[in-house]
């Protein structure tokens, strides 16, 4: 249970290791992870492998809403995983490649990403601001972990799900649903994610993967920037 963890209210990358001190233990005790984030990279799965393996063993399901600014190799892996949900031969091929999830996450992260999408452990949607936010980016960074007992931990901060995020000076604030003062904040984050995921936000259009490809909203990168993207 998440209630077993002794999580601090605040972490930054200078004084702490966000992966070891927060993401791995939270994933290991959760069955649901909902994440809204400006930038996702499969490299994050590799550095969080220990937590992701336990999360998968828990029967966990994760949902990401992220911007359509993706690494081209990550996009191909996401597409392969989405196709494998209905293509049984491709699913069997991915399944053979991922005989050991921990090892595959470390050595062939893209295969692991595709397989986890195919097996419905991970699900992704891409967000594009619209109406009063037209021509902007989906730039928020928040997440919610939920355990079997319905306890939740939410977090907000500047941290993106990428290797570069661990190199930058970043921080997150952490809120637990069983702490009375923070329960409304956790509830608000959970509701906000559901609103985005179900495309109910009037100023953000959310696309599933095939829809995103058809809409030609993608901005693919050949590799992760070694420095933050300029405004």
Mean pLDDT by 10 residues, the chain (231 residues): 95 96 98 96 95 97 95 94 95 91 94 96 96 91 97 96 85 97 97 97 95 88 57 51
DSSP per position, 37-88: ES-B-HHHHHHTHHHHHHHHHTT-EEEEEE-SEEEHHHHHHHHHHHHHTT-H
**pLDDT at res. 60:** 97
**pLDDT at res. 135:** 86
**pLDDT at res. 228:** 54
Asked if CATH classification 3.30.870.10 holds for the domain at 2-68+122-217, the reply, yes or no, is yes
Decide: 144 and 153 in contact? Cβ < 8 Å: yes
**pLDDT at res. 223:** 60
**pLDDT at res. 86:** 94
**pLDDT at res. 100:** 93
**pLDDT at res. 224:** 56
Give the helix/strand (H/E) hosting 170: none
Q: Find the length of the chain.
A: 231
CA distances from 221 to 21, 75, 155 (A): 30, 10, 28
CB atoms within 10 A of CB 229: 11
User: Does the predicted model carry a pTM greater than 0.85?
Assistant: yes
């Amino acid at each position: 249970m998440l209630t077993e963890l002794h999580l601090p209210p605040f972490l930054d990358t200078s004084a702490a290791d966000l992966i070891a001190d927060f993401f791995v233990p939270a994933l290991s005790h959760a069955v649901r992870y909902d994440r809204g984030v400006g930038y996702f990279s499969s490299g994050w799965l590799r550095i969080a492998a220990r937590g992701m393996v336990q999360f998968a063993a828990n029967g966990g399901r994760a949902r990401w809403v992220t911007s359509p600014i993706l690494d081209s190799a990550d996009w191909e892996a996401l597409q392969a995983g989405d196709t494998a949900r209905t293509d049984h031969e491709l699913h069997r091929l991915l399944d053979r490649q991922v005989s050991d999830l921990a090892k595959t996450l470390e050595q062939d992260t893209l295969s692991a990403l595709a397989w986890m999408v195919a097996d419905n452990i991970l699900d992704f949607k891409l967000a594009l601001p619209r109406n009063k936010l037209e021509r902007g980016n989906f730039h928020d960074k928040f997440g919610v972990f939920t355990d079997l007992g319905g306890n939740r931990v939410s977090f907000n901060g500047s941290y993106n799900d990428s290797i570069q995020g661990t190199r930058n000076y970043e921080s997150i604030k952490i809120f637990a649903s069983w702490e009375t003062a923070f329960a409304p904040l956790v509830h608000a984050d959970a509701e906000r994610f559901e609103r985005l995921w179900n495309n109910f936000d009037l100023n953000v259009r959310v696309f599933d993967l095939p829809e995103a490809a058809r809409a030609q909203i993608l901005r693919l990168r050949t590799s992760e920037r070694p420095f933050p993207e300029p405004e």
